Structure 1
Amino acid sequence: MIPVPSGVRVWLAGGVTDMRCGMNSLALKVQEGLGRDPHAGDLYVFRGRRGDMVKCLWHDGLGMSLYAKRLERGRFIWPSPADGAVAISASQLAYLLDAIDWRNPQQTWRPRSAG
């Protein structure tokens, strides 16, 4: 799990991204494509064409970090390209990285009584 402090905004870049891109290329996509400052402390998440890999770009105030995750099975749930950049919470990011539908997570069943 990425140690995302509270208060950090998480943005999903709608559409697909070339997963060969590194930090500089993704930072340029944030700046020019999304119109945001990649060094402002927000976390940006990009998805590959097949949907089984994401890259997270984050500037923590000291330097830029690039995280990657590839699923062995399944695909990441992603917004449509028409949505543009979608803001999600840090807990929704945790769901996304665990390959759970972050849009509508299901609460587990809890028993009402012990007996």
Structure 2
Amino acid sequence: MIPVPGNVRVWLAVGRTDMRRGMNGLALQVQEALGRDPHGGDLFVFRGRSGSMVKIIWHDGLGMSLYAKRLEHGRFIWPSPADGVVAISSAQLAYLLDGIDWRNPRHTFRPKSAG
């Protein structure tokens, strides 16, 4: 898991992103398409066309990091392109990276008894 401080903002770049891009290309996309500062300490999350892979860029004050995750089955839950740039919490990012619907997380199992 990414060691994300609690005060960091997480931005989802809605729509499709070319997953062949590296950290420089994604940082340029943050700057030009999203109108944000890629070196400001926020996390920016991108999803590819198939929906099974995300890339995250983050500048922690020392340097830029690029993280990637691919799901073996299923797709990452992603907002509509009409939503523009979406801000989520670091807890919602953890749900997203686990393949859980971060918009409305629910417990899938609850024991009926202790024994």
TM-score (norm 2): 0.94
1:4 aligns with 2:10: no
Q: CA deviation at 1:45?
A: 0.2
Secondary structure in 2 matching 1:58:
strand
| Per-residue deviation, 1:37 | 0.3
Equivalent residue number for residue 110 of structure 2: 109
Q: 1:72 Cα shift? A: 0.6
Structure 1 residue 110, shift from structure 2 partner: 6.0
Q: Which residue of 1 aligns with 2:32?
A: 32
Q: Quick one: distance in 2 between partners of 1:78 and 1:84?
A: 12
Determine if the alignment matches structure 1 residue 71 to structure 2 residue 71.
yes
**Could you say which residue in structure 2 is the equivalent of 1:18?**
18
- The amino acid of 1:12's aligned partner reads L
Partner of 2:87: 87
Q: Flag structure 1 segments of 5+ consecutive residues without an equivalent.
A: none
Paired residues in the alignment total: 114
The 10-residue stretch of structure 1 (99-108 or 18-27) with the greater mean CA deviation from structure 2: 99-108
TM norm structure 1? 0.94
Describe the SS at the equivalent of 2:17.
coil
